Amino acid sequence: MESTHDDVLVLGGGVIGLACALYLLKAGAGVRVLEQGTPGCGSSHGNCGTITPSHAAPLAMPGMIGVALRSMLSADAPLYLNPRFDGARLRWLLGFARHCNWRDFAAATTARCSILQRSRRLLGELIRDEKLDCEFSEQGTLYVYRTAGLRAADEHDHAKLLDRLGIEVQRLDGAQVEAMEPALKPGVAGGLFHPGDASLRPDRYVAELARRVVELGGVIEQGARIEHLDTDGRQVTRVHSSRGVFQGAQVVLALGAWSPLLAKQLGLRLPMQPGKGYSLTYSRPRLVPRHALALREASVCVTSWNDGYRLGSTMEFSGYSEGLNRTRLDALRRGAAAGLREPEGPELLEQWWGWRPMSVDEVPIIGPSTRWSNLQLATAHGMLGVSMSAATGELVASMLAGTDPAIDAAPYAPARFGL
């Protein structure tokens, strides 16, 4: 059988797969990326592009299951659990519920904080050193509150947690927030500003990663839908795709929300579910925010670029259901209209949905498989794929090179799930 052989095959050309490919190439490996569409066409494309060490805390905490169950009654809730029966989703939800305790919350927060802070530092270096043109901005993220109650609750829980983690957060009153952001409507109760956060244009970031991968000698096979995996004892030997058959001394599984579907062929049950997100992209309105914003009551993220403006967020658990949900998009519009003087741009450029790869403990799955000796996993980054991309690429490259990683790899190991 004719096939192409490489040092490393990276399965998936989203932000994580491309970051892994780039760091592997920089470490001297020969790399080929298999992407079923075009680079970054999944969740890497339509998210808001925020780089957020401030998001160290996971959703999985005591009381969250009650919130999720109540959301079934409100199709426009920021966190929405579709009531349709789905066995795989139910098993994931039960696993998620087991992690909604303070011990697991603390462990997940520590693990997420470590990779987020490392990635934040690396991203600035990567974008500068590799000359990635992606509108990178280090102006921070501003959480905006219109009710004193939610502001006080976040101050007590979110801000104090970040203080303990060493992540800077500035407490602002309403007048200070309105002075920082003329784009906001009056009536702000207060804000929390995260100066260590950053933002970029995600589609441009992924395109630039792809450009550098090719310039450094890597190959990206577009339109390469993976159809079948051959194995021999403890190794993945061949990857059959719509573009041909490929072999790699090492294989990196970085397929985002599609990872569990392919992993079944290898007898691996990844404890993941797709969390569906939405965004609306416009041409720039006259009055745009100076910072990336989180409008907290509506859970709407707002970012702007030189020629674009985006409203995003929401989390919908509906399994692998495809397509736009008009109710969710309307909720984004209402949330923006409640907080911004010009909530929408002159022209609607794109309505988008994508699946975020959510693990039951909300910690990414990165590292060697215990079942397959030449398989590395790099998946389950949830809503933080862009934020965690650089550190994930560095971590995978160091593990394959046999060098000491910059951060402790143990919290992300597939072995915690017997994978």
**DSSP assignment of 179-224, as one string?**
HH-TTBPS---EEEEETT-EE--HHHHHHHHHHHHHHTT-EEETT-
Torsion 78-54-415-228 (CA) sign: positive
Q: Is-above-0.85 flag for pTM?
A: yes
Is 217 within 8 Å of 3 (Cβ atoms)? no
Mean pLDDT for 366-389 is 97
| Residue 366 or residue 321, greater confidence | 366
Res. 73: pLDDT tops 80: no
Long-range contact set of residues 235-240: C-beta below 8 Å, sequence gap at least 24: 235/372, 235/373, 235/374, 236/266, 236/372, 236/374, 236/375, 238/1, 238/3, 239/9, 239/11, 239/34
Mean pLDDT for 31-47 is 88
362 confidence band (pLDDT: 50, 70, 90): very high
Is 11 within 8 Å of 239 (Cβ atoms)? yes
Condensed to tens digits (0 to 9), the pLDDT of residues 151-203 reads 999 998 899 999 999 999 999 999 999 999 999 999 999 999 999 999 999 99
CA dihedral 4, 36, 250, 17 (to 10 degrees): 130
Mean pLDDT for 235-241 is 96
Res. 4: pLDDT tops 80: no
Question: What's the pLDDT score for residue 3?
Answer: 63
Largest CA distance in the chain: 69
Nearest-angstrom CA–CA distance, 267 and 135:
41
Question: What's the pLDDT score for residue 1?
Answer: 44
The amino acid at 26: K
Is 295 within 8 Å of 335 (Cβ atoms)? yes
Q: Please give the radius of gyration of the chain, using alpha carbons only, rounded to the nearest integer.
A: 21
Beta-sheet strands, E only, within 254-397: 272-282, 292-295, 300-305, 308-317, 348-359, 365-368, 375-379
Nearest-angstrom CA–CA distance, 39 and 98:
35
Condensed to tens digits (0 to 9), the pLDDT of residues 116-136 reads 999 999 999 999 999 999 999
Condensed to tens digits (0 to 9), the pLDDT of residues 278-316 reads 999 999 999 999 999 999 999 999 999 998 999 998 888
